[in-house]
Every structure is written in structure tokens, then in C-alpha cells.
Amino acid sequence: MSLSKLKIADLEAKLPIVQGAMGVGISLSNLASTVANAGAVGMIAGVQIGYSEPDFEENPKEANIRALKKHIRKAKSLSPEGVIGVNLLTAINNYADMVRASVEEKVDLIVSGAGFPKNLPDLVKGSDTKIAPIVSSGKGAQLISKIWDRRYNRVPDMVIIEGPEAGGHLGFTVEDLKNPPSLENLVPETIENLAPFEEKYNKKIPVVAAGGIYNGKDIKKYLELGASGVQMATRFVTTKECDASEEFKKTYVNSAKEDIQLVKSPVGMPGRAINNQFINKLKEEDIPINKCYNCLRPCDPSSSSYCISDALVNSCIGDVDNGLIFCGTNAYRAEKITTVKDVINELVAEATNYNNVVSN
């Protein structure tokens, strides 16, 4: 058995693996380009991507746009033949500007979640950039497809269905998670809901399964369920090429299963993170917000218990005791810092029963 390629309209990745975007600053141009060179889809996280720009504190919007362009340009130069995408949260306040900046740099793919990207087709109109929403149900896939069909006479180039075991912000309420749906059921449900749109447009809409996928056995399972590919993020954190600090990576390696827990986010939805000093402090008191970056629409600094931007930036740059360490449900399974090449080789070998698929 060999793994099929992932075809996204006229884009083609050699492997049916999408590296999940991780912000703030966990998956930037270095990780994305390395993954793309290994044959998978490399993703840059756009949220607060300008955190290391010298004027980020004073001009966060301009810094984010500038940094986004830099990282797309760098990733494409490092992987000229690979597929490079960006993940832009629909909830960011400068969403339209960030989409336009991505299109200007001719990024291959824009993935959007954290709400319905209702106007995304209009923002990429006239470009070759492919667009893919992240949804948490088959009905969600159907709804965004209906909106795009009615308003713009187009449908998604790909759909990512993300289950409840994903990392970071989740597309489920706390109530939902008391009796969560299984990704095994969500995948065929999503495929079924997209079938009428595929027929109408005579176009394959690949469905990519995401959330809790960790090894080659998982990949094989979801491909057999009908998915065209899988999205994996956690596996790529503990690689040398990951853009995060070494301290951030070590929290995954040193974590135990019981350390992985749900946390309250200022944006109103639960998130999954590794327990640490920061989370324990939050259980006792709010953490004062000294500056608002006006980054996310659902966030109200007057009622928030902490600043999500500061928390994520701190952990990314290595101040893990004072930051939020987002992770997937399987983060505790990481045993060492490895390389993207070794991760990809292992995944493909497990899924196909043969080794050394990625050339030396």
C-alpha cells in the first residue's frame, strides 16, 4: 500500500498530510517550508505573527501584515516546489487585510476557522490562492458551502473537519465536550454533506480529518473512512525545525497525560493546553491586562481574565511559566526532540508498512 497524494484543486502534495498551523509563533516559515519539502502541506500560523517585529507593541496590525508577508516569502523561497499555506482566524480584527497580504504574496492556500469565513471567496477573487474552511460538523461544512455557492458561485477547495481532541481553541462549547462527537463519525458526515456541491460543480472537495491524529495507524484509519488527508499539529512541535523555543518543545516531552487539560479562553471557547504555573495562577486570580492589542473580535479586555496574546507569545519565546502552552490531546506522547524528516518517515512507514519513503 502507498499513500495517495492530496489534491486541492490544481495543487498537489505528495503526501495526504497537512501540518496544522500553531500560533502564536509555533509554526512559521521554518517549520512550514521543511514540512512542504518533505511532501506534506506546510502551514504558517498568521495570528499575531508580528510578535517579534520591533514595532509590534505600537503598531501590531502593521507588524502582523509585514511579518506575514516575510514568512510567506521565506517559506516559498525555501520550498519553491512545496505547498505552502497560511491559517488566518476569521475572528482576527484585520482579517481582510491579512488575507489580501497573503494573496499578494501568492500563498498557495488559506485555511480559516474560528468562525465562518463568509467573505473569503471575495477576498481572494482573481487569484490562484485556494481556500479551505475549518468546521466542526458536517452541517457546518454544508452551511459555509451554501453561503459561498449562493454569494460567490464557488465552493471550498478543501474542508478541514476538526474533532474535539484538537489542540488550542476548540470549535465546541464546554457543554458539547461533556458528550463530544467522534471524529470517526464527523468525517463521513462531512463527506456526505459536501456531495451535492461536488456534483453541482463537478469538483472534488477533499475532506481533511483533524484533531487527535498522532500516528500512521490514525492516518490509515481516516483515509479508509473516506478522508482525502489528515491534519496533524502536535507531532511537529517536538521537531528541531519547529519555530517555537526549546523551552516550549520540552514542555511537551516532559508532560504527562494528566497535564493535558481544558482551559477557559478570553475568546469564549475552551482551549486545550498543558497545565503549568500560569494556569494554576488563573485558577486563583485574574492576570492583569496591561495592553490590549485589539487582535480578536470576541475578546473584551474589560471582562477577560488574561490577555491571550501575551500568554501565547510568552510561551512561544520560552517564558513557559507565564504563558499558555496550547497542545493537542496526545502531546504527552512525545518522547524526544526529533526532526520533520524522521516524523514524516515514521508516519508513512506506519501507514504503509514500508520505510524510507522520504529520500535522504
> What pLDDT digit, counting tens, does each position of 282-330 carry?
888 877 777 666 655 665 665 666 777 888 999 999 999 999 999 999 9
Q: What pLDDT is recorded for position 23?
A: 86
Strands (E), the chain: 6-8, 11-13, 17-19, 41-45, 83-87, 109-112, 130-135, 159-162, 168-169, 207-210, 229-232, 260-264, 270-274
104-140: per-residue pLDDT in tens?
999 999 999 877 899 999 999 999 999 999 999 999 9
CA angle 74, 109, 201 (to 5 degrees): 160
Q: How far apart are CA 248 and CA 261, in angstroms?
A: 17
Q: What pLDDT is recorded for position 90?
A: 86
7-30: per-residue pLDDT in tens?
999 999 999 999 999 989 999 999
Nearest CA to 166 among 135, 197, 188?
Answer: 135
250-289: per-residue pLDDT in tens?
999 999 999 999 888 777 778 899 999 999 998 888 777 7
Overall average pLDDT of the 101-106 stretch: 98
Q: Which residues pair with 13 in a beta bridge?
A: 6
Angstrom distances, CA of residue 160 to CA of 65, 69, 100: 25, 24, 22
Overall average pLDDT of the 35-42 stretch: 98
Pairing between β-strand 229-232 and β-strand 17-19 as defined by DSSP bridges: parallel
207-220: per-residue pLDDT in tens?
999 999 999 999 99
Given a cut of 50, is residue 224 above it in pLDDT? yes
Nearest CA to 122 among 136, 135, 112, 137?
Answer: 112
The rounded percent of the chain whose pLDDT value lies above 90 is 76
The rounded percent of the chain whose pLDDT value lies above 70 is 91
Burial of 237 (0-12, 13-18, 19+ CB in 10 A): buried
Residue spans per domain, the chain: 6-244+336-353, 247-317
Per-residue pLDDT band for 248 (boundaries 50, 70, 90) equals very high
| Rg over CA atoms, the chain | 19
Per-residue pLDDT band for 360 (boundaries 50, 70, 90) equals very low
211 and 162 Cβ atoms separated by less than 8 Å:
yes
Higher model confidence: residue 89 or residue 99?
99
Overall average pLDDT of the 151-178 stretch: 84
161 and 135 Cβ atoms separated by less than 8 Å:
yes
Q: What pLDDT is recorded for position 79?
A: 98
Given a cut of 60, is residue 31 above it in pLDDT? yes
**Residue 193 is placed in which grid cell?**
454533506
Per-residue pLDDT band for 174 (boundaries 50, 70, 90) equals low
Q: What is the architecture, at CATH level 2, of domain 6-244+336-353?
A: Alpha-Beta Barrel (3.20)
**Residue 243 is placed in which grid cell?**
519555530
Q: Which residues pair with 208 in a beta bridge?
A: 160, 229
181 and 164 Cβ atoms separated by less than 8 Å:
yes
Angstrom distances, CA of residue 242 to CA of 187, 246, 248: 28, 9, 10
Pairing between β-strand 260-264 and β-strand 229-232 as defined by DSSP bridges: unpaired
Q: What pLDDT is recorded for position 357?
A: 43
Overall average pLDDT of the 179-193 stretch: 94
Q: What is the mean pLDDT of the chain?
A: 91
Q: What pLDDT is recorded for position 199?
A: 97
Q: What pLDDT is recorded for position 305?
A: 67
Query: Is the bond leading into 24 cis (omega within 30 degrees of zero)?
Result: yes
Overall average pLDDT of the 236-244 stretch: 98
46 and 107 Cβ atoms separated by less than 8 Å:
no
Given a cut of 90, is residue 68 above it in pLDDT? yes
